Chain A
Amino acid sequence: DTEVTQTPKHLVMGMTNKKSLKCEQHMGHRAMYWYKQKAKKPPELMFVYSYEKLSINESVPSRFSPECPNSSLLNLHLHALQPEDSALYLCASSQVQTSGNTIYFGEGSWLTVV
Chain B
Amino acid sequence: GENVEQHPSTLSVQEGDSAVIKCTYSDSASNYFPWYKQELGKGPQLIIDIRSNVGEKKDQRIAVTLNKTAKHFSLHITETQPEDSAVYFCAASMGAGSYQLTFGKGTKLSVIP
Q: Name the distance in Å between A108's Cβ and chain B's nearest Cβ.
A: 5
B-contacting residues of A (Cβ < 8 Å)?
Answer: 2, 4, 6, 31, 33, 40-43, 45, 48, 50, 55-56, 88, 90, 94, 96-108
Give the contact-size bracket for chain B. Answer: 20 to 34
A-contacting residues of B (Cβ < 8 Å)?
Answer: 31-32, 34, 36, 42-46, 49, 51, 89, 91, 93, 95-101, 103-106
Q: Name the distance in Å between B67's Cβ and chain A's nearest Cβ.
A: 18
> Would A100 and B44 be within 8 Å (CB), given that A41-B105, A48-B99 are in contact?
no
Partner among B51, B89, B100, B105 whose Cβ is within 8 Å of the Cβ of A56: B100
CB <8 Å contact, B98 and A100: yes
Q: Name the distance in Å between B42's Cβ and chain A's nearest Cβ.
A: 6
CB <8 Å contact, A103 and B101: yes
Residue from B95, B97, B104 having most chain A Cβ neighbours under 10 A: B97
CB <8 Å contact, A40 and B106: yes
CB <8 Å contact, B100 and A98: no
18 of the cross-chain contacts (CB-CB < 8 Å) are A2-B43, A6-B43, A40-B106, A42-B104, A42-B105, A43-B103, A45-B99, A45-B101, A56-B100, A94-B99, A98-B95, A99-B31, A99-B32, A100-B51, A104-B46, A105-B36, A105-B45, A105-B46
